Amino acid sequence: MKIGIVGYGNLGRSLRGLIERDENLNLVKIFTRRDNNSFNDDKMESIKNLLEYKDKIDVLFLSLGSATDIPEMAPEIIKNFNTVDAYDNHAHIPQYFEKMDDIARKNDKVAFVSTGWDPGLFSLNRLIAESILTKGHTNTFWGRGVSQGHSDAVRRIKGVKRAVQYTIPKEEIIENIKENSKDYKSFETHNRLCYVVCEKKDEDRIRNEIVNMEDYFKPYETEVKFISEEEFEREHTNMPHGGHVIRVGETLENNREMYKFTLELDSNPDFTASVMIAASRAVLKYVENKNYGAHTVLDTPPAYYNVLSHEELIKNYL
């Protein structure tokens, strides 16, 4: 499978590393908006030349930001390439799906949209759990892990030099959820922990601004720790993450059945990239079947993610 990558941030780097170690995948180019000459790397190519690769790439990974890059660029790119993206702006996914579906169908292309783990595997598990256990409560727990949005919000505060925000689920709620099954609010089930680098004199003001920030921190229990630049660099530049989707269903005679899906990730971008690569195999199957348009984890037969034949899958997995 001939692969291209658009964008070269953390996710793009993980994609590259994983593609290069997979003998079934061939990385053609990485397309970037940065000046070519800034890289001493023959895999790099200017995004301006993307169309020249129209017939040389089977699947293009869009490792771009969800805020503006994907909604702006993907509807153009899908006219000429099959794509996989991890678009995660939940509120706008339905419109994004419609748009990509429409353009992809018109151009005989396939777009696998909004994959990764949330949206992605967590969505899949919420759907399956609720389809099986029709009566019950589903809760999603995120973390322990870095929330990019919350870290950005802290970094926008005046005087903050560096900052990271960890979302931490409350273990005691998870442990007892089968007994205490209900729909929890997110602020009831998570704490927030910020590590901040700043001047000593700004600490009180910054702590105050963080814990009182509406929407981001206000109803949550939030702890703010001030640390040195050295400690920050040493302890807080990795990107672990994870979480749980838990559904507790009520069946007959007061029986409860717990369905729990858990991820514990050393590297959020490595795992998201791994999910995107599995999705690219599904893209090829959709193309083979001329099933053009947009697809998601919700409508994709699981067998599509694997290179083995259906016969082998039944033998190995069922």
Contact yes or no for 61/274 (Cβ under 8 A): no
Task: Spell out the residues 6+ positions from residue 305 whose beta carbon is closer than 8 angstroms to its own.
Answer: 278, 279, 281, 282
Q: Is 116 flagged in the annotation as binding?
A: yes
Q: Is 29 left (phi over 0), alpha (psi -120 to 50) or beta?
A: beta
State which H helix or E strand residue 11 sits in: helix 10-20
Give the dihedral sign, CA 308/309/314/315. negative
48 binds its own copies (CB under 8 A): no
Q: In this chain, which of 114, 147, 165, 222 binds its own copies, going by CB under 8 A?
A: 114
261 binds its own copies (CB under 8 A): yes
Quote the CA–CA distance of 109 and 111 in Å, as a whole number. 7
127 binds its own copies (CB under 8 A): yes
179 binds its own copies (CB under 8 A): no
Minimum distance from CB of 302 to its own copies (Å)? Answer: 5
Residues within window 232-251 making contact with its own copies, judged by CB under 8 A: 242, 249, 251
Minimum distance from CB of 65 to its own copies (Å)? Answer: 18
145 binds its own copies (CB under 8 A): no
213 binds its own copies (CB under 8 A): no
Q: In this chain, which of 189, 267, 284, 287 binds its own copies, going by CB under 8 A?
A: 267
Distances (CA, A) of 57 to 82, 182, 196, 225: 9, 48, 43, 47
Owner of token pair 């083995």: 308
Report the residue number, 100 or 160, with the smaller CB distance to its own copies: 100
- For 254, the token pair is 């007061």
Contact yes or no for 44/36 (Cβ under 8 A): yes
22 binds its own copies (CB under 8 A): yes
Minimum distance from CB of 97 to its own copies (Å)? Answer: 6
From the list 103-111, 147-155, 187-195, 275-283, the region that binds its own copies by CB under 8 A is 275-283
DSSP 223: E
52 binds its own copies (CB under 8 A): no
In the sheet that holds 162-169, the strands lie side by side as: 145-146, 162-169, 190-197, 221-226
Q: In this chain, which of 64, 111, 163, 278 binds its own copies, going by CB under 8 A?
A: 278
38 binds its own copies (CB under 8 A): no
Q: Is 8 flagged in the annotation as binding?
A: yes
Q: In this chain, which of 6, 110, 133, 283 binds its own copies, going by CB under 8 A?
A: 133
# residues contacting its own copies (CB under 8 A)? 66
Secondary structure (DSSP) of 128-170: HHHHHS-SEEEEEEE-SEE-HHHHHHHHTSTT--EEEEEEEE-
Quote the CA–CA distance of 231 and 45 in Å, as a whole number. 36
Minimum distance from CB of 238 to its own copies (Å)? Answer: 9
Minimum distance from CB of 218 to its own copies (Å)? Answer: 27
Applying CB under 8 A, the residues found at the interface with its own copies are: 14, 17-18, 22, 90, 93-94, 97, 114, 119, 121, 123-124, 126-128, 130-134, 178, 242, 249, 251-267, 270-271, 273-275, 277-278, 281, 296-303, 305-306, 310-311, 313-315, 317-318
Annotated binding site for NADP(+): 8-11, 32-34, 115-119
